[in-house]
Amino acid sequence: MSSSLPIKGRASLDRVLEASSFLPSSYLSTTSFAQEIIARDLAECSSDELEDDDCDPDDGSEYDAAPGNHAAAALVSRPTGIAYGTLRPTIAGEAQGSLAVTAQDLLESRHAEQSLLRDNHILPPKHPRLPKDSIWKQLYRHMFSTKVPTDGLGPPLSPSTTKALEDSPLLQHDYLEAAASANIIKTTWQREAKTLTQYSRSLIVTFLLHYSVTVTSVFTVGRIGRLELGAVSLATMTANITCYAPIQGLSTCLDTLCAQAYGSGHKHLVGLQLQRMTYLLWMLLLPIATLWWFATPVLGSIIPDQDTAALAGMYLRVLILGTPGVAAFESGKRFVQAQGLFHATTFVLLIGAPLNVLANWFFVWKLNWGFNGAATAVVFTQNLLPLLLFLYVRFIEGMECWNGLSRKALGNWGPMIKLALPGMIMVEAQYFAFEVLTLAASQFGSAHLAAQSVLVTVTSTTFNIPFPLSIAASTRVANLIGARLSDAARTSAKVALVAGILVGLFNLGLLSSLRFQLPYLFTNDEEVASIVSRVLPICAVLQVFDSLAAISHGLLRGIGRQAIGGYTNLGSYYLIALPISFGVGFYLKWQLEGLWFGVAVGLAVVSSVELFYLHHADWSHAVEEAEMRMRSDEASRIELK
């Protein structure tokens, strides 16, 4: 097998074969809390002979069912732990579980490895080049070909070895690892640009579809009046801080628990963790509902405009009916993601987003419910999405991890809460740092509060382009690091940063050129539109820093340094952005322009710090750390089995 490898590759083959028995789960790591929870559940199942049907482990996991087993999954291209927020999407932090690899993932990984080997001239080209190409084909190849220049590369493999590689995922993976260890696997910016585009395009659609629920509500209310638009902004801020952020943060622990259960082959525990988290979140909704029911006097004591406070309180009372659906959907997304069914959420949103538009028209204009109709449409959508997700799992795929309702979901909450609290604190801190600006804007009057609603909606919508790109960059870099291709990972990171700059410049140009037109998409109020048009140039410049910060944070996740990005974000918001925003907004009386100026400065600091760290990071050391983590993940998976 090794005789056809280039000379440098043969010397490292033995060492690579030893390492290739582990799944390269990149930057993912297990936690002691997660292992404790799974172990307790397994012990309880094994000790309860009366409920065998509820606790049968499914040993036929996707790991063992797929040809070539998980050793062939060097370039699995799925992200993990995605959370679609009501304000801005986030991604789970360090507490992750073993990557669940499906047969489709293995097939995609195999094709990606074959393509990479062909581009490095280790495998013969799939389509041999013609003796004479036209000048246009030569120009196209020069600009867009993913082939690596041939200088210094060894000869291609023999036909017999080529056939073996294409027929055997395991052999192919061994050759890829050996070539990577010999440092002869390279990549090009063309390949990385193509890969990042493939990874991110569906994510961008998914994130924009999900955020369209919020955008549609703002569009609708903005047509009713200035006071109503400001009230929605105030109500959304309250809902995000007191409900949506805690729910999203607590449910991130399922990224660890469900992935850990699925990866260890105990699929029945995935459904058990889903039930347990859903019950916990529903219990927490009781005090939240009480707070929202009496929100009017609370908000009235904080903001000067009592009419706005009264409308916001009424809006929150209606939203109480949608909170069970929000909790169920957040938990349900983790349930399908743990099984590798990331497209399930996309299919749900492809149906839910248009129905949300229809619901806004029906309740607000057809039934003439006005402001309450807009809140009712939100409640309708919030409860529709988990129902659609349930129907997808029930009738399409995902039922293998559901073993029915279980009384065991009512116990073993302690370790789960300990695992969930750090995620909740991090997400809550991120939301509060951004949402407090809405509270500050309310001090300037109803027009400024309404303008703040428009500005938050616009900037959050544009953020849904670079953020999915950052997830794609994180996934790609993590896969290359896991495959021990540090040079290729560096190249991919550079391409991602350039793409981030281009996206930021595109958003900058869009907001700058449409600064006088965009406000009227949301409101007909001249004063509100004037305020928005004055602040939009600051938001336009902010786009470049926002995009770079998103990409940089994604790259830090890819090399296993997500904690640095998290702390940098929080430190910059609380120590730099907010003090500058309040100082310039209130002391210098720049008002809304000052609030957003502070945000722009904070994001500039975030992007600068993260880019500085990435420039000086030791990417080879990241490869070594990834190997240690994947060995730990594999050992934990075997132990839990």
Q: How confident is the model at residue 360 (pLDDT cuts 50, 70, 90)?
A: very high
CA distance 502 to 466: 10
pLDDT at residue 249, rounded to an integer: 87
Is residue 93's pLDDT more than 60? Answer: no
Q: How confident is the model at residue 377 (pLDDT cuts 50, 70, 90)?
A: very high
pLDDT at residue 24, rounded to an integer: 35
pLDDT at residue 450, rounded to an integer: 95
Contacts of 215 (CB under 8 A, 6+ apart): 457, 461
Q: How confident is the model at residue 306 (pLDDT cuts 50, 70, 90)?
A: very high
DSSP-derived secondary structure for 136-169? HHHHHHHHH--PPP-TT--PPPPHHHHHHHHH-H
pLDDT at residue 181, rounded to an integer: 64
Is residue 237's pLDDT more than 80? Answer: yes
Contact by Cβ (8 Å): 195, 477: no
Q: How confident is the model at residue 482 (pLDDT cuts 50, 70, 90)?
A: confident
What pairs with residue 83 in β-bridges?
Answer: 90
Lowest mean pLDDT among 67-76, 137-146, 529-538: 67-76
pLDDT at residue 163, rounded to an integer: 53
More confidently predicted of 418 and 224: 224
Q: What is the overall mean pLDDT for the chain?
A: 81
In the numeric block, which tokens belong to residue 230? 């400001």
Average pLDDT of the segment spanning 271-286: 94
Average pLDDT of the segment spanning 316-329: 96
pLDDT at residue 426, rounded to an integer: 78
Smallest CA-to-CA distance from 28 within 338, 415, 402, 489 is with 338
Smallest CA-to-CA distance from 558 within 464, 460, 483, 612 is with 483
Is residue 246's pLDDT more than 70? Answer: yes
Query: Which whole-number Å values give the CA distances from 344 to 99, 321, 333, 390, in the listed order?
Result: 18, 25, 8, 10
> Where are the extended beta strands (E) located within 7-142?
82-83, 90-91
Average pLDDT of the segment spanning 237-263: 87
CA distance 432 to 444: 19
pLDDT at residue 17, rounded to an integer: 30
Is residue 629's pLDDT more than 80? Answer: no
Is residue 70's pLDDT more than 50? Answer: no
Query: pLDDT exceeding 70 applies to what percent of the chain?
Result: 74
Contact by Cβ (8 Å): 90, 427: yes
Of these ranges, 25-39, 52-66, 106-120, 302-316, the one predicted with the greatest mean pLDDT is: 302-316
Q: How confident is the model at residue 487 (pLDDT cuts 50, 70, 90)?
A: confident
pLDDT at residue 125, rounded to an integer: 74
pLDDT digits (tens, 9 = 90+) for 557-587: 888 887 788 788 889 999 999 999 999 999 9
Average pLDDT of the segment spanning 387-412: 90
Q: How confident is the model at residue 124 (pLDDT cuts 50, 70, 90)?
A: confident
Smallest CA-to-CA distance from 254 within 336, 341, 349 is with 336
CA distance 274 to 418: 16
pLDDT at residue 177, rounded to an integer: 66
Q: Is 51 exposed, middle or buried (0-12, 13-18, 19+ CB in 10 A)?
A: middle
Is residue 91's pLDDT more than 80? Answer: no
Q: Sketch the domain layout of the chain as residue ranges.
A: 189-640
Is residue 13's pLDDT more than 90? Answer: no
Query: pLDDT exceeding 90 applies to what percent of the chain?
Result: 45
Is residue 130's pLDDT more than 90? Answer: no
Contact by Cβ (8 Å): 6, 159: no
Average pLDDT of the segment spanning 109-129: 74
pLDDT at residue 23, rounded to an integer: 33
Q: How confident is the model at residue 494 (pLDDT cuts 50, 70, 90)?
A: very high
Of these ranges, 32-41, 48-57, 621-630, the one predicted with the greatest mean pLDDT is: 621-630
Lowest mean pLDDT among 34-38, 213-217, 269-273, 397-401: 34-38
Is residue 386's pLDDT more than 80? Answer: yes
DSSP-derived secondary structure for 565-592? HHHHHHHHIIIIIHHHHHIIIIIS--TH
Q: Is 335 exposed, middle or buried (0-12, 13-18, 19+ CB in 10 A)?
A: buried
Q: Is 134 exposed, middle or buried (0-12, 13-18, 19+ CB in 10 A)?
A: exposed
Query: Which whole-number Å values give the CA distances from 141 to 111, 136, 146, 562, in the listed order?
Result: 21, 8, 8, 37
CA distance 413 to 456: 36
What amino acid occupies position 318? V
More confidently predicted of 360 and 163: 360
Q: Is 242 exposed, middle or buried (0-12, 13-18, 19+ CB in 10 A)?
A: middle
pLDDT at residue 190, rounded to an integer: 87
| pTM of the predicted model as reported, rounded to 2 decimal places | 0.84
Is residue 29's pLDDT more than 50? Answer: no
Helix 592-616 to helix 413-441 angle, to the nearest 10 degrees? 130
